[in-house]
């Protein structure tokens, strides 16, 4: 289950944030799909968690927004992580029409548990 944090500048239009909220669950799922955690196209609650945070007065960023994806490490994900993050960046650009943003993919050793 990927955790996705979107940190955005105050000037980013609400429509762009809505588009990110709509598109990211599917796009991130495609980006981190692997044999150990296949993506069947049917997202359920808890499959992808999105967290939006506006930059605060002390934050510094030269980008309109940054999408940080954290998903459990698997060897199959790790081998081609740069390709995965580049493809996700391209997919976000197509979905939003934005150019001035970054994508960070982190694959930590992790575990997840979720109730019914």
pLDDT digits (tens, 9 = 90+) for 37-83: 999 989 988 889 999 999 999 999 999 999 999 999 999 998 999 99
Q: Helices 81-96 & 14-32, crossing angle to 10 degrees?
A: 150
Give the span between the Cα atoms of 88 and 104, in whole angstroms: 10
pLDDT digits (tens, 9 = 90+) for 18-38: 999 999 999 999 999 999 999
Distances (CA, A) of 35 to 6, 76, 77: 27, 8, 9
For the whole prediction, is pTM greater than 0.75? yes
Give the span between the Cα atoms of 84 and 105, in whole angstroms: 8
Domain with residues 3-106, CATH architecture: 2-Layer Sandwich (3.30)
Q: What is the dihedral of CA 111, 19, 38, 51, to 10 degrees?
A: 0
Could you tell me the residue ranges of all domains in the chain? 3-106
Instruction: Enumerate the H helices of the chain as residue ranges.
Output: 14-32, 75-79, 81-96
């Amino acid at each position: 289950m990927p955790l996705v944090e979107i940190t955005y500048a105050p000037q980013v239009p609400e429509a762009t944030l809505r588009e990110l909220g709509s598109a990211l669950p599917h796009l991130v799922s495609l980006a981190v799909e692997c044999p150990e955690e296949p993506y069947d196209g049917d997202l359920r609650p808890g499959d992808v968690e999105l967290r939006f945070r506006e930059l605060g007065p002390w934050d510094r960023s030269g980008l309109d927004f940054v999408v940080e994806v954290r998903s459990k490490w698997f060897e199959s994900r790790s081998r081609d992580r740069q390709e995965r993050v580049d493809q996700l960046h391209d997919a976000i650009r197509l979905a939003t029409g934005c150019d001035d943003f970054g994508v960070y993919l982190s694959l930590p050793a992790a575990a997840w548990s979720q109730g019914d």
